[in-house]
Amino acid sequence: DHIANQIAAGEVVERPASVIKELVENSLDANAAFVDIEVRQSGGFLRVTDDGDGMGSDDVLLCIERHATSKIRDEKQLSALSTLGFRGEALPSIASVSWMVILSRQQDQELGTRAEIRHGVLRSVHQDGCPRGTTVEVRHLFGNVPARRKFLKSVRTEMYHVEEVVRNLALAHQHVGFTLKIEGRTVLNLLPDTDVELRVREIFQYQGPLLPIPPQPADAESTMAVEGYLLLPETAPAGRAQLRLLVNGRPVQDGMLRHAVNEGLQGFLMKGYRPAGVLLLTIAPDQVDVNVHPAKREVRFRQANVVHGMVAGQVRRAMNDYQQ
Ligand code: ADP
Ligand code: MG
């Protein structure tokens, strides 16, 4: 089981940013209104604190066990595992390649639970006072996996990926407040309950004109909807102002969506303009496969041409309205 956790970790937990992503997604799943993220020691220390539902003491112990009974018996079988799904494996995986502390309390509990896990082995668990919600602290990431450590890029690059993960999650969850501190410096400080426009301005650090792409009023048959904001700067947007695509809240790289935005802007494009901003696509789960690879950012649409047409059409309509 321990070996299986480490192998899963190799797939799910690529770098500090993947740890942050998994931990913050858990916080969001637990209905957090605020999520505080801290990174220190060049990514060697990671901490995510939320004010969400928390876990009871049983849950705290359960969550570091693999959900599915593993059928893996020896290391040879492990090499054939690259296509497994990884639901319910994030915490056990991270715990297997780090020293982890979980501190959690549910609303109706007087005391919380504090568990210490080292390389997947539970070292201690006891009751402890703590605010409602959950804190997960990860230290010595990949301390027991030197091969994985070698694949890490420069600190600067790793921290850039951490910021990107948080920016994308913050765009998809504008009702949640986020702070991100790296080496004691506040990199992001986003209040909850801002609307999408405000969040876009904060994330892109942009005060110029925005093209709103309003959501279409949903009809009974619609299985997809798109909304978003595009930056319309007087000059070409700065390097960091990219086009961020989120499908059902998940950041993706998708050439087809990118192409659809470009097509929607055909005839309006200013010289040198590269689309920048955010596009949030909501689509029925049976119309999209987001599990092409757990750690990659690809999606496969059932009816790519329909999605393309809708996105291009919405962007074109928005631009038409904007110019009147
Ligand atoms: P998954 O999210 O796919 O269920 P994880 O390994 O990420 O798997 O988490 C395991 C379980 O631990 C979750 O299903 C949840 O019950 C619990 N959990 C993890 N993080 C939190 C959190 N921040 N707040 C409340 N519960 C959590
Ligand atoms: Mg999870």
The structural domain count of the chain equals: 2
**ipTM attached to this prediction:** 0.99
52 close to ligand 1 (CB < 6 Angstrom): yes
Atom 18 of ligand 1: nearest residue by CA position: 26
Query: What average pLDDT does the segment 25-53 reach?
Result: 95
| Domain match, 184 and 274 both | no
Give the pLDDT score at 62: 86
Does 310 lie in the same domain as 180?
no
Per the model's pLDDT, the better-predicted residue between 292 and 117 turns out to be 117
222 within some domain: yes
Tens digit of pLDDT for each residue in 69-90? 332 334 444 433 333 334 678 8
Residue whose CA is at the smallest distance from ligand 1 atom 17: 63
Least confident segment among 62-76, 206-220, 221-235, 285-299: 62-76
Rounded CA-CA distance 39/180 in Å is 8
Query: Residues 92-133: pLDDT tens digits?
Result: 999 999 999 999 999 999 999 999 999 999 999 999 999 999
134 pocket-lining for ligand 1 (C-beta < 6 Å)? yes
Give 73 Cα–ligand 2 centroid separation in angstroms.
25
| 212 and 174 within one domain | no
Of 137, 157, 190, which residue is a domain's last?
190
Among the listed ranges 122-131, 235-244, 265-274, 307-316, which one has the minimum average pLDDT value? Answer: 235-244
R_g of the chain, CA atoms, integer Å: 21
Is 5 buried (19+), middle (13-18) or exposed (0-12) by CB count in 10 A? Answer: buried
Query: Quick one: which H or E segment has residue 261?
Result: helix 255-264
* pLDDT tens string 158-198: 999 999 999 999 998 999 999 999 999 999 999 987 788 99
The answer to whether 23 and 48 have CB atoms below 8 angstroms apart is yes
For ligand 1, say whether the CB of 63 is within 6 Å of any of its atoms: yes
Please check whether residues 172 and 238 belong to one and the same domain: no
Which DSSP string do the residues of 82-134 spell out, in sequence order?
TT---TT-HHHHHHHTSEEEEEEE-TT-SSEEEEEEETTEEEEEEEE---SEE
Give the Cα-Cα-Cα angle 177, 182, 184 (nearest 5 degrees): 100
Q: List Cβ neighbours of 321 (8 Å cut-off, separation of 6 or more).
A: none
Q: Is the CB of 60 under 6 A from ligand 1?
A: no
| Candidate of 25, 26, 58 to mutate for ligand 1, largest count of ligand atoms within 8 Å of Cβ | 26
Q: Are residues 108 and 213 in the same domain?
A: no
Identify whether 118 is part of a domain: yes
Answer whether residue 40 is part of any domain.
yes
**Ligand at shortest distance from the CA of 133:** 1
- Tell me how far apart the alpha carbons of residues 183 and 47 are, in angstroms, rounded to a whole number: 12
**Co-location of 227 and 270 in the same domain:** yes
CATH number at 260 reads 3.30.230.10
- Distance of alpha carbon 136 from alpha carbon 222, whole angstroms: 39
Domain contains 284: yes
One domain, residues 179 and 213: no
Q: Are 285 and 223 in contact (CB under 8 A)?
A: no
Residues 167 and 231 in one domain: no
CA of 239 from ligand 2 middle (Å) equals 32
CA–CA dist 317, 299 (Å, integer)? 25
165 in a domain, yes or no? yes
Q: Which residue carries 């928005």 as its tokens?
A: 318
Of the two residues 296 and 262, the one the predictor is more confident about is 262
Count CB neighbours of 151 within 10 A: 11
Q: Strands 243-247 and 277-283, how do they pair?
A: parallel
14 shares its domain with 56: yes
**Cα–Cα distance, 313 to 34 (Å, whole number):** 36
Domain range for 277:
208-323
Same domain, 122 and 236: no
- Name the residue with the closest Cα to ligand 1, atom 19: 26
Q: Does residue 68 surpass a pLDDT of 90?
A: no
Claim to verify: residue 134 and residue 282 sit in the same structural domain: no
Task: Please give the full DSSP string across 43-79, using - where no structure is assigned.
Answer: GTEEEEEE-S----HHHHHHTTS-SSPP---SHHHHG
What is the CB neighbour count within 10 angstroms for residue 186? Answer: 9
For residue 19, give the CATH number of its domain.
3.30.565.10
What pLDDT was estimated at residue 153?
86
Q: Is residue 30 within 6 Å of ligand 1 at its C-beta? A: yes
